[in-house]
Structure 1
Amino acid sequence: MSYALITPAAEEPVTLAEAKAFLRLDGSHEDALLGDLIATARDYLEMVSGLSLVTQEWRLYRDDWPASGMVSLAHGPVQSVGTVTVYDREGAASAVPQDQARLDGRARPARFYMPGLAGRKTGLNGIEVDFTAGFGSAADVPDVAKQAILRHVAHMFSFRGVIAADQQPAGAPEGYDRLIAPLKAWRL
């Protein structure tokens, strides 16, 4: 099982103006660096939390479908499942009707139930599930996520002379894990 980002987010959850206000910066001489740091902080937060913040299109590849008919979808919250495509051993594709499919997109991880595929086996990556994930637009992203991004940008910005932008994030600010704890999926 693997995932591929099909369509990235069209915007960042934190704007350049918000980051500059948080850092109390005037002028535009650091704008390119700040843009890179915002993207890095968002990437890092999405990686450690398992979330997609702003709407994105993803594809899940599977070799088979569980006998239970239920699969977990990472990168939640999942807004919708687009198409499910199954490839036979010769490579011919067929779309699977979703008339009995059910999605619990807010669960962590999201759950997608499709009894019509239960126990089905194909070749390597023979099942593709296209889905839309994220909270919506930047305005829909939880404030705690925006605060985490802003604090992480400030942390990376303060070390900009020591650690190159392409080597960030070299670390997270003090208290970052406690700040993002509500965003993370915890497993027992």
Structure 2
Amino acid sequence: MPHEEGTVGRYLMMESSSRCVVPPATEPLSLEEVKEHLRIDSSAEDALLQMYIEAARKVCEHNTARALITQTWETTFDRFPGPVLEPSGLDGELLTLSRTATRTLREGLAITLPKGPIQSIEAIRYRNESGDWQTMDQDAYIRDHVAGVDRIYPGPAGWPEVDGLAGAVCIRYLVGFGGRWATPAALRVWMLLRIGTMYENREKTSTKTLSRLPMMDRLLEPYRLSIY
């Protein structure tokens, strides 16, 4: 049943799952930068430091909801967003939308992806009511960027219907600041400090020291995405 216009209702929360399908080709920090920061001349611990670089980058990405280096992600939903229509008046009649309610309806139709900054939408695929996978035309949806957050809205035809089974909508998109030197300096510094803390505490069994870094974590604040 198509999403009906001119009515009000409630909105279901859309559950999603996301995964990186094409990892970054490089890291925001080189091994040489990290060794210089830690004052290490030997190559005996190079493999360990490489793991620390990757781990620090992933923690940074998790804490900010941003990808640092260009990478490809896929997010799947069970359906496209839309209202669950229900009577709003005491007499069971559906109420006419006000201008404010119209904006609410528009926001209720938006898809917000959980990772940024988005470079491009590679494809929006969905499983139609017959169970066949289809790819939406690029002119069938609109990408809107406001306050650092990307939202995807349907075109005039609305979102297509899906078969109602799990994972019926799959969006593939390119995210990241770009290459190594496109990563903001504050995030690179945070990684260096995090790696230094991990290296200094590599023999300790307690994670107490690692978890209490409030001053360091302030470097992340300007870059945290408020997705929802």
TM band (smaller chain)? 0.7 to 0.9
Match of 1:158 in 2: 200
Is the Cα–Cα contact under 8 Å of residues 79 and 105 in structure 1 kept in the other structure?
no
Aligned twin of 2:110? 70
The equivalences for 1:95-106 within 5 A come to 95-104=135-144
Q: 2:191 is matched with which residue?
A: 149
Shift of 1:25: 1.1
Unpaired runs of at least 5, structure 2: 1-15, 83-105
Aligned residue identity for 2:186: V
1:56–1:5: structure 2 CA closer, same or farther, 3 Å change rule? same
Whether 1:4 aligns to 2:13 is no
Unpaired stretches in structure 1, ≥5 consecutive residues: none
- Is the contact between residue 5 and residue 56 of structure 1 (CA under 8 Å) also seen in structure 2? yes
Residue 41 in 1 paired to residue 56 in 2? yes
Corresponding residue to 1:118 among 151, 159, 176: 159
CA distance in 1, matches of 2:201, 2:43: 19
In structure 1, what is the Cα distance between the partners aligned to 2:36 and 2:137? 49
Deviations 1:69-103 (A, max 9, x none): 42101110000001111112453111111114222
Q: Do 2:128 and 2:162's aligned partners in 1 also have CA atoms closer than 8 Å?
A: no
Secondary structure (helix, strand or coil) at the match of 1:179 reads: coil
d(CA) in 2 for partners of 1:41, 1:104: 31
Q: SS in structure 1 opposite 2:172?
A: strand
Deviations 1:21-47 (A, max 9, x none): 111111211111110011111111111
Separation (CA, whole Å) in 1 of partners of 2:227 and 2:115: 16
* 3-state secondary structure, aligned to 1:99: helix
2:223 corresponds to which residue?
183
- Partners in 2 of 1:119 and 1:172 — Cα distance? 47
Q: CA RMSD of the aligned region, Å? A: 2.4
The equivalent residue for 1:92 is 132
The whole-number CA distance in structure 1 between the counterparts of 2:148 and 2:127 is 28
Taking structure 2 as the reference length, the TM-score comes to 0.73
Q: CA deviation at 1:139?
A: 1.2
Does the alignment pair 1:83 with 2:123?
A: yes
CA shift, 1:177, in A, is 2.0
Q: In the alignment, is the contact (CA less than 8 A) between 2:128 and 2:161 conserved in 1?
A: no
Aligned residues: 185
**SS of alignment partner, residue 139 of structure 2:** coil
2: CA distance between counterparts of 1:182 and 1:163?
32
User: Which residue number in structure 1 is paired with residue 87 of structure 2?
Assistant: none
Query: Cα gap change, 1:172/1:121 in structure 2, threshold over 3 Å: closer, same or farther?
Result: farther
- Alpha carbons 2:129, 2:161 under 8 Å: kept: no
TM-score by length of 1: 0.88
2:31 corresponds, among 12, 16, 20, to 16
